Amino acid sequence: AECYCAKIIRGGRISAPEMKVPSNSRIVMLLGQLERMNGEAMVRDVETARQVTTKILHLIQTQEKSGKEVMSKGSSGMEVILASLEVSSQTTLEFLCISIVTDLGRRMGVFVSKGGTGILFQILTSASKELPPSEELMLQLHSLLAKVGPKDRKFGVKARLSGALNVTISLIKQNLQNAKLLLPCLQVLRVYSANSVNAISLGKNGVVELMFKIIAPYSKKNTSLLKVALDALGALLKSKTNARRAVDGSHVPALLALYLDWHRNDARHRHMLIRKGLLVCLRNITNIKLGRKAFIEADGMRILYNTSTECLPVRTLDPLINTSSLIMRKCFPKNRLPVPTIKSAFHYQLPHVLPVGPVAQLYSQPPGVDDVVDDSDDNEETEAETDTDNEEDEKNDDIETDLNKLHPTKSPGRPFEELRVYERFFLELSEDFQVTVNYNILFLQGYNFEGSKGASSTPSSGSLSSSSSSARSTRPIIVPTAQALSPKHMATPASQEIWNSIKGQHTQPPSPLLLGDIATRRVGGGGSDCGSEGAEDEGGEGAVLEVPDTALLLPLHDPDLYVEMVKGTRSVPQYAEVAYPDYFGHVAPTFKEPHLERVYGVQRSKIFQDIERLIHPNDILDKVVYDLDIPSCPVIEDSGESLKFNSQFESGNLRKAIQVRKYEYDLVLNSDINSNHYHQWFYLEVSGMRVGTTYRFNIINCEKSNSQFNYGMQVLMYSVQEAISGRPRWVRTGTDICYYKNHFARSSIAAGGQKGKSYFTLTFSTTFSHKDDVCYFAYHYPYTYSTLKMHLAKLEALRTPHIYLRQDVLCETLGGNICPLLTITAMPESNSNDHICQFRNRPLIFLSARVHPGETNASWVMKGTLEFLMGTSPLAASLREAYIFKIVPMLNPDGVINGNHRCSLSGEDLNRQWQNPNPELHPTIYHTKSLLQYLAHIQRAPLVFCDYHGHSRKKNVFMYGCSVKETVWQSNISATSSDLHEDLGYRTLPKILSQIAPAFSMASCSFVVERSKEATARVVVWREIGVQRSYTMESTLCGCDQGKYKGLQIGTRELEEMGAQFCVALLRLKRLTGLRNHQHLLDLESDIIGTQSKVVSPTTYVMEEDEPSFLEAIDYSAESDNEDAEPENEHGNNVHENPDHLDQLSDSY
Ligand SMILES: [Zn+2]
């Protein structure tokens, strides 16, 4: 017979010299004897062979040492036994060999790697042809196979191809009463079934029905058999055809009844695994729609809800509760998101719509079409079987592998004649300082400075104020928001005086619209803690609203100036209100805000509360208290039994608030303008709360598949009562926070064509500590466009004769707002030629931020950068002398103003437009890119380009850069060494940052060029403008897990510090690059900053979040594949979504 042994022997693997066991060992001698008998001799002398084998078996059984010798590395013992197995035709000998192998159980891996599985199947099929087959041999073989199976990845395929599948099935069918033989057969079947092709074929052969026969009815007679049968059935039911079979056979009610039986009769919880096995069957059946339907019809929700509730007190039953919860979440009937359309409540008419793309789709949608739900969950069709053994090699296909694209090729871009107009933004490059020029002209034309007071107004501003008055909005501005006012606190005669006394410096009252409202605002009730210093304090009966005196704490904040700025800000909804936090300002708290520890089982209890909506529908109020789709009156008045909501102010985006239960609210966020999705950011106002009551809030239409809210991040809250008590600040708030997939259906229109998707819920609970307070909740520290304008105006006040600061208007946005461009450097030391030459020739640094409106942290980092650059420190002075800074602090003003999360008014992600920005639709990107193209043309491309972003799924601050070498390393494409010749300068800046900025983490940086990012600022500036140090800097929304801030949530202080440290790092970079002429830069860099001249460990490319998984599955559709794992691990798997989708929602910038 052609055989393995021959091959093995010819392959020389069992030649004597390789035997490493001591040659005098008895077992080695016996093996040697057996080896010499292999082939002809064995057939001739079965008796001797048997004797030898028996001796070997005896030795293995009695001496542990012998077993080790047979199996030890380098020993050929296993080959000899295998060879004997294969050659022999004698049942008894086989039996003995199998016994030997069985006894070597712990080294089954060796057996598998030597081809043992195939030999066993061969013996099995040939033995099955004997009539009747030897029961003893079958038992032995299956026992051994059951051990081999889990060690052999190809076990299922080998079984099918050898015909062993059918042998085992017919054995099972013929031995249903023979538990001794049945058990190992079922154990083997369990392994067979894990292969999807096998599962289908087994199902066709009636094995699903067979298993149901074995597991029912309830009996504790043979529980180990039952357990194995359930495991096999569970594996079989992963196949959708089999699941359908189970539904058709009415097994869903039967399984539920059986589960109930076990639940009731297993009082001491000794049969957890059987109960769990039953749930796994239900879980797999409910993967298909028919299964979910059958589950609901069989009252599965109530059964699992009740049993789970009864299990709750026993911690060891958690796996049952978690699997039950998973099934219930899946079967929970999909609800409609309670909005008429998912299109933004506001629409902005674009000058034109590109023929393809999301906006065109949105516009072309016929009226009356329901886009909130579609039939995407109604079709069973897509549940076809995939008839392949999927060995998915998870290759990341997003890495750029086209070498041509990996080599930065400066693209000429627009012709220089066109770019010449941008010269006016670079006056410093031609400045001769012979005439005094007022650089504020451009800036002031676009800004509205009228009304700004004090040191902030430069002498020139007054003369220019008339030019801005035309742009000034005539609509009334209400400060603060009106809805929070309770009617009984209307104007009193005293209030005007109080106002004047507080704002004593005013000689004339501000405009009545503005003042009238502020003066009449009272925050009633007068908690004793809101002490006011005003002489006119009326006592405990209700303090008049005061503006906290934050001038010292917040030198760059001015409430009046802020209101003036709001007047010049154009929003699509024409906001007429100002939110208190933006008006009062935010003073970072001095206490630490550690990550919130996740309470055990928090998500489960929240989900159970959600399920109760279905179980106890009468408890649900479903009362709409705020609805932006009623434009005339979104705030719905009521008798005071509900909270009041509002977000009709800059960056606000609440669309609807529904009181679900007495102290629980569902909140729906508005889509980005001209879009039907992108919601994650939120900013809203709440009032009318009761003190000491815990409220639960659920934001029910979040889109990202995971969030740092699951890893210690809290929401931000701002209390007006606290503010007027001298603590104007956002604080991290909320308990019982978690983020999970919910039961609100997401139509395929909103899910990028993917069907059957759901939204995610962010839930948090909070208790309010002041009566009649007005509180705000936000995703992250708000930073509005009007705030930016106020800060820029205040920056003027920091100007000294040594600082060259110019504020230009780069362009106007679609929404009619201006996009500021700042130039900061040092004035030349003198008018001498040398000094002017040095001034003009300073390298440029180009910075931008806030292309994504929801990433407000980027603005706080930018604020830190700007204030540092305008500062008086010697470092700042050196920095200004070293570089010319060109800064676009807000690339997407319209998005910020209108409360968008990601897009501009064009309904598009502006950071995907850099390759080919449209001047009309993406003006800020078009003109920013043009500035860079102009610089490239005049050979003055910036030394560093950095775009500030925020990251919602990672901790720390880190950078993304572009490196050919590191991309090639990650992608395995073959490249010549010249392709890999690369200056390592791109690593210097992040390396410096990791040394000086506590929040910065080098380990999180990546320098891989991804295809999905080829139209981002970073990649385009690197590739087309030729800036080697082109970066995205990502700041966490959550906090740090390394460095000085480890374990803490990030605050504005840390973000601003990051912005300042970025500047310090640039100064260090200057020292290093200043030595470029010395030709030893690389060596020097590596000496100084500890980078070797070749990168020893390239940064790893991590596409998804890198948080450890936890017990509770965020997404119930993410099924775990490791059925054999410990039950506790079952829910550990994280979501793996399709990359397109990820890209769409990724905030990785
Ligand atoms: Zn971003």
Quote the pLDDT of residue 637.
75
**CB hemisphere CA count around 984 (13 angstroms):** 21
Q: What is the pLDDT at residue 1121?
A: 39
Tell how many helices (H) and how many strands (E) occur in the chain: 45, 18
Q: 532 with 543: CB under 8 angstroms?
A: yes
Give residue-wise pLDDT tens across range 877-903: 999 999 999 999 999 999 999 999 999
740-766 pLDDT per residue, tens: 999 999 988 877 778 888 999 999 999
Q: Are strands 694-702 and 664-669 parallel, antiparallel or unpaired?
A: parallel
pLDDT tens per residue across span 521-571 = 333 333 333 333 333 333 333 444 566 677 778 888 999 999 999 999 999
Which one-letter DSSP state was computed for residue 313? T
421 C-alpha to center of ligand 1: Å?
A: 30
Looking at every residue in the chain, the average pLDDT score rounds to: 80
Contacts of 242 (CB under 8 A, 6+ apart): 199, 200, 203, 208, 236
* Across 1005-1028, average pLDDT: 93
**Weakest-pLDDT range from 289-293, 454-458, 921-925:** 454-458
Q: Nearest-5° angle of CA 1119, CA 1121, CA 1127?
A: 85
Instruction: Report whether pLDDT(151) > 90.
Output: no
pLDDT of residue 941: 95
C-beta of residue 225 within 8 angstroms of C-beta of residue 179: yes
The strand pair at 944-951 and 844-849 is best described as parallel
Please give the distance, rounded to the nearest whole angstrom, from the Cα atom of residue 1002 to the centre of ligand 1.
Answer: 19
Answer for the pair 886, 845: CB distance below 8 angstroms, yes or no: yes
Enter the tokens of residue 804: 């060259």
Q: Count CA atoms closer than 13 A to 854's CA, side-chain side.
A: 27
Summarize pLDDT for 625-669 with one digit per residue, the tens.
Answer: 999 998 777 887 777 789 999 999 999 999 999 999 999 999 999
Residue 1056 has pLDDT above 50, yes or no: yes
Start-to-end C-alpha separation, the chain: 64
Residue 421's pLDDT is 93
Tell me how far apart the alpha carbons of residues 858 and 993 are, in angstroms, rounded to a whole number: 16
In this structure, are residues 77 and 97 in contact, taking their beta carbons and an 8 Å threshold? no
pLDDT of residue 118: 87
Indicate the pLDDT class of residue 979, thresholds 50, 70 and 90.
low
Q: In 3D, which of 932, 842, 833 has the Cα closest to residue 428?
A: 842
Query: pLDDT at position 977, please?
Result: 64
Instruction: Give the distance (Å) from ligand 1 centre to CA of residue 397.
Output: 22
Question: pLDDT at residue 178 above 50?
Answer: yes
CA 811 to centroid of ligand 1, rounded, Å: 22
Cα–Cα distance for residue pair 756/476, rounded to 1 Å: 45
Q: Does residue 811 register a pLDDT over 90?
A: yes
Write out 404-445 in H/E/C secondary structure.
HHHCCCCCCCCCHHHHHHHHHHHHHHCCCCCCCCCCHHHHHH
**What pLDDT shows up at residue 1118?**
56
Measured between alpha carbons, how far is 663 from 691 in angstroms, rounded to an integer? 12
Looking at the annotation, which residues are catalytic? 1034
For 224-247, what is the mean pLDDT?
95
Adjacent-strand bridge partners of 808:
821
Determine the distance separating the centroid of ligand 1 and the alpha carbon of 446, expressed in angstroms: 27
**How much is the average pLDDT of 135-149?**
87
Q: How much is the pLDDT for 200?
A: 94
Cα angle, residue 862 at apex, residues 1048 and 1044 outer, rounded to 5°: 25
Task: Compute, in angstroms, the gap from residue 1014 CA to the centroid of ligand 1.
Answer: 14
Q: Ligand 1 centroid to 782 CA: how many Å?
A: 15
Cα–Cα distance, 971 to 1 (Å, whole number): 46
**Per-residue pLDDT tens for 620-634?**
999 999 999 987 778
CB distance 62 to 50 below 8 Å: no
pLDDT, average across residues 482-509: 34
- pLDDT band of residue 838 (cuts 50, 70, 90) is very high
Tell which residue, 744, 585, 583, 608, has the closest CA to residue 679.
744
Alpha carbon of 137 to ligand 1 centroid (Å): 65
Cα separation, 571 vs 559, whole angstroms: 20
Q: How far apart are CA 183 and CA 179, in angstroms?
A: 6
Angle, CA of 349, 350 and 356, to the nearest 5°: 125
Tell me, in angstroms, the distance from the centre of ligand 1 to residue 405's CA. Answer: 23
Q: Which phi and psi angles does 1049 have, rounded to 5°?
A: -80, 150
The answer to whether the beta carbons of residues 1059 and 868 sit under 8 Å apart is yes
Coil, strand or helix at 687:
strand
What is the pLDDT confidence band of residue 106, given thresholds at 50, 70 and 90?
Answer: low
| pLDDT computed for residue 365 by the predictor | 75
Backbone angles phi, psi at 391, to 5 degrees: -105, 80
Cα(951) to centroid(ligand 1), Å? 7
In this predicted model, what pLDDT tens digit does every residue of 467-484 receive, in sequence order? 333 344 445 666 554 344
Q: How far apart are CA 121 and CA 98, in angstroms?
A: 12
Task: Pick from 78-82, 238-242, 963-967 the range whose average pLDDT is largest.
Answer: 238-242
Q: What are phi and psi of 465, to 5 degrees?
A: -60, -30
| Average pLDDT value for residue range 375-397 | 50
Q: In the 8-state DSSP scheme, what is residue 334?
A: P
> Distance from the CA of 232 to the center of ligand 1, in angstroms?
47
Q: Give 1000 Cα–ligand 1 centroid separation in angstroms.
A: 17
Q: Tell me: pLDDT of 18 over 80.
A: no
Q: Residue 169: its pLDDT value, please?
A: 93
Return the higher-pLDDT residue of 118 and 905.
905
Q: Which of 294-303, 341-350, 369-378, 384-393 has the lowest mean pLDDT?
A: 384-393
Provide the pairing of β-strand 957-960 with 1029-1036. antiparallel
pLDDT score recorded for residue 750: 78
Percentage of the residues of the chain whose pLDDT score is greater than 70: 76
Contacts of 976 (CB under 8 A, 6+ apart): none
pLDDT band at 71 (very low <50, low <70, confident <90, very high): low
Is it the case that residue 861 has pLDDT exceeding 50?
A: yes
**Which position has the higher pLDDT, 1124 or 550?**
550
Distance CA 200, CA 242 (A): 7
Close Cβ partners of 658 (under 8 Å, ≥ 6 residues apart): 338, 622, 623, 624, 625, 665, 666, 667, 668
Nearest CA-CA partner of 914 in 904, 928, 903 = 928
Q: What is the pLDDT of residue 405?
A: 78
- Inform me whether the pLDDT recorded for 437 exceeds 70: no
pLDDT in the model for residue 821: 98
- Please tell me the predicted confidence (pLDDT) of residue 262: 96
Q: Ligand 1: distance of its center to the CA of 15 in Å?
A: 63
Q: What is the pLDDT of residue 519?
A: 32
397 — pLDDT class (breaks 50, 70, 90): confident
| pLDDT, tens only, 186-232 | 999 999 999 999 999 999 999 999 999 999 888 888 899 999 999 99
**132: cis peptide before it, omega within 30°?**
yes
Q: How far is the CA of 1029 from the centre of ligand 1 (A)?
A: 18
Closest CA relative to residue 750, chosen from 681, 678, 826, 823? 678
Q: Hey, how many other C-beta atoms are within 10 angstroms of the C-beta on 135?
A: 13
Please determine, for residue 491, whether its predicted confidence score (pLDDT) is greater than 50: no
pTM score? 0.81
Angle between helices 318-331 and 300-311 (to 10 degrees): 150
Residue 713: the pLDDT is: 97
- Give the residue among 1012, 917, 1020 at the shortest CA–CA distance from 962: 1020
* Cα 607 versus chain centre, distance: 21
Q: Looking at 509-523, 998-1012, 1023-1037, which range is the least confident one?
A: 509-523
The stretch 1048-1066 carries a mean pLDDT of: 97
The pLDDT, as a whole number, for residue 89 is 58
CB 856 within 8 A of CB 902: no
- What is the layout of strands, in order, in the sheet containing 644-646? 644-646, 683-687, 774-778, 715-719, 730-733
Strand-pair category, 694-702 with 757-767: antiparallel
Q: Name the more confident of 408 and 1147.
A: 408
Q: What is the mean predicted confidence (pLDDT) over 867-875?
A: 96
CA-closest candidate to residue 262, choices 222, 225, 304, 220:
220
HSE of 127, CA atoms in CB hemisphere, 13 A: 29
Helix (H) or strand (E) holding 721: helix 720-724
Buried b (16+ CB within 10 A) or exposed e, 824-850: bbbbbeeeeeeebeebbebbbbbbbbb
pLDDT for 928? 98
Average pLDDT of the residues in 151-168: 92
Provide mean pLDDT across the span 352-379. 74
Q: What is the per-residue burial (b if ≥16 Cβ within 10 Å, else e) of 458-497? A: bebbeebbebbeeeeeeeebbbbbebbbbeebeeeeebee
DSSP state of 1008: P
Distance of alpha carbon 1076 from alpha carbon 565, whole angstroms = 45
Task: Give the pLDDT score at 836.
Answer: 93
- Cα of 1033 from ligand 1 centre, angstroms: 9
In angstroms, the Cα distances linking 575 to 475, 578, 580, 614, 648 are 9, 8, 14, 38, 6
Looking at residue 36, its pLDDT comes to 78
Instruction: Report how far ligand 1's centroid is from the alpha carbon of 1138 (Å).
Output: 20
In this prediction, residue 105 carries a pLDDT of: 61
**Residue 508 — very low, low, confident or very high, per pLDDT cuts 50/70/90?**
very low
Task: Give the number of other CB atoms < 10 A from CB of residue 633.
Answer: 8
Query: Which span out of 52-56, 523-527, 1011-1015, 1039-1043 was modeled with the highest average pLDDT?
Result: 1039-1043
Q: How confident is the model at residue 484, as a pLDDT?
A: 41
- Residue 1100 — very low, low, confident or very high, per pLDDT cuts 50/70/90? low
Q: Which helix (H) or strand (E) holds 359?
A: helix 358-364
